[in-house]
Amino acid sequence: MNTDIRHPLDDRLPALLRSGRTLRAIFNSLPSPAIVEMCAYAGFDFILIDNEHGSADLGITEHMLRAARASGIPPVVRCLRQDIARVLDMGASGVQIPMVQSAEEARELVQQVRYPGTGRRGSAFSPRAAGYGAFPGAEHTRRSNAGVALIVMIETEEAVAQAAEIAAVEGVDAVFVGPNDLSHSMGFGSDWKAPEVDAVIERALRAISGAGQCAGIIGMNGADEARYGAWGARFFATVASSVITHALRQAAQPVPAAARTGGPGY
């Protein structure tokens, strides 16, 4: 009998978030297991499968989770509350939940993510996370409670006012500031670099970090990382579709005649 079987649940994420390291993740809203693999091979610390704004159904999501496990990258699913149990049963390493407004709401999410003992997640050993019954019982419960991460998102001024309290909730593994929705909620539309929004972002990141929690935010480039890192952020996420679109725009630009090499394949 083969005893060298990789467990379907990658349980490294909570330790990564507690490590104190700078972490780089990438949102992927495209329903493609191949892109998940590409992000792994590119060297990201983890991937955020975006089921809040993406088009993947749950069947494709499960295939994306398989691709993540095969290529060695921990997968988080950003999902709506009603999908938490199902994506965890599929084997997600964590969930990222949008629009968390209060510490009370964060505590309720902890209950949904953890099995009895620390929460009230429904127990089942037949789904993929337990190897379809190959890894059942108390060990699956222990592994899941210790190895599945809960990342909550704060995206309004109301939530920022409670950032420290949200960050201090036991069972929350990271708090991510959503700058675009924050900017919209403040009346600045998509201008999340506006000074007024910037000041609220700084207040949120300093409060989260000051509570001893991993603070996350969108980081599209080195300048973003330097700016937000100075305020306490250490989990930075870029966006796969933006990276791809930028690369395609660059590739679509005419090549000056002097720069053409005429090399193989051109």
Instruction: Note if 53 is an active site residue.
Output: yes
262 has pLDDT over 60? no
Instruction: Kindly report, residue by residue over 25-53, the tens digit of the pLDDT.
Output: 999 999 999 999 999 999 999 999 999 99
Helices (H), 58-102: 58-71, 84-90
Domain 13-248: assigned CATH number: 3.20.20.60
Domain range summary for the chain, segments of one domain joined by +: 13-248
Q: What are phi and psi of 233, to 5 degrees?
A: -70, 145
The mean per-residue pLDDT over the stretch 90-96 comes to 98
Answer whether 50's CB lies under 8 Å from 78's CB.
yes
**Distance, CA of 226 to CA of 134 (rounded, Å):** 45
**Distance, CA of 28 to CA of 86 (rounded, Å):** 19
pLDDT, position 266: 43
Instruction: Kindly report, residue by residue over 123-165, the tens digit of the pLDDT.
Output: 999 999 999 999 999 999 999 999 999 999 999 999 999 999 9
The mean per-residue pLDDT over the stretch 214-218 comes to 98
The β-bridge partners of 49 are 28, 77
Active-site residue, from 7, 53, 184, 246: 53
Residue 11 CB burial class (10 angstroms; 0-12, 13-18, ≥19)? middle
Instruction: Kindly report, residue by residue over 167-195, the tens digit of the pLDDT.
Output: 999 999 999 999 999 999 999 999 999 99
Q: What residue type is assigned to position 91 of the chain?
A: G
Tell me the pLDDT of the chain averaged across its residues. Answer: 94
The pTM assigned to this predicted structure is 0.93
pLDDT, position 4: 67
What is the percent of the chain where pLDDT is above 90?
91
Q: What does DSSP assign to residue 116?
A: B
Q: 248-257 — which CB contacts under 8 Å span 24+ positions?
A: none
The β-bridge partners of 152 are 97, 175
Answer whether 172's CB lies under 8 Å from 150's CB.
yes
15 has pLDDT over 60? yes
pLDDT category, 6, cuts 50, 70, 90?
confident
